[in-house]
């Protein structure tokens, strides 16, 4: 009987240890994901702008009478008024148009927030 009790206690402790290890691993993964989001370099956002915006808003296509490739060659705050218009279009979900490729939703929100922080 004592052997069964010891074995039961051992199994309980082992299960708790596994659960704690799993919780720690999940916590570490979440922490790494949050850090990766907060540490996203500007170049990734600029790549997103080039991929999803500049393909239409450039000197050749000049969609909406806007050349973002020219604006991106300079610091974003220098053209804050134009970028505020871009941000309003993004916040309204108007750009990119439904017929064009769009970034994933969290990427879209992150890009919009990044642009807002650039002109503040």
pLDDT tens-digit map of 110-119: 999 999 999 9
More confident residue, 20 or 67: 67
Are residues 65 and 114 located together in one domain of the fold? Answer: yes
More confident residue, 3 or 116: 116
Judge if pTM exceeds 0.75: no
Q: Which domain holds residue 81?
A: 42-119
Are residues 31 and 79 located together in one domain of the fold? Answer: no
Read off the pLDDT of residues 4-48 as tens digits, 9 standing for 90 and up. Answer: 666 665 566 656 566 665 555 445 444 555 555 555 689 999 999
* Sign of the dihedral through C-alpha 100, 106, 107, 112: positive
Residues 6+ apart with CB under 8 A from 80: 119
Measured distance CA(94)–CA(6) in Å, rounded: 66
SS3 107: helix
Q: For residue 24, what pLDDT is reported?
A: 55
Are residues 32 and 83 located together in one domain of the fold? Answer: no
Measured distance CA(29)–CA(36) in Å, rounded: 11
């Amino acid at each position: 009987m004592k052997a069964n009790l010891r074995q039961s206690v051992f199994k309980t402790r082992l299960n708790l240890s596994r659960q704690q290890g799993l919780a720690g691993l999940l916590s570490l993964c979440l922490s790494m994901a949050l850090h990766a989001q907060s540490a996203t370099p500007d170049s990734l956002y600029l790549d997103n702008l080039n991929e999803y915006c500049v393909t239409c808003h450039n000197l050749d296509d000049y969609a909406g009478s806007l050349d973002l490739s020219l604006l991106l060659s300079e610091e974003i705050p220098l053209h804050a008024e134009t970028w505020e218009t871009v941000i309003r279009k993004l916040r309204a979900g108007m750009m990119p148009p439904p017929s064009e490729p769009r970034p994933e939703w969290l990427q879209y929100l992150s890009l919009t927030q990044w642009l807002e922080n650039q002109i503040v």
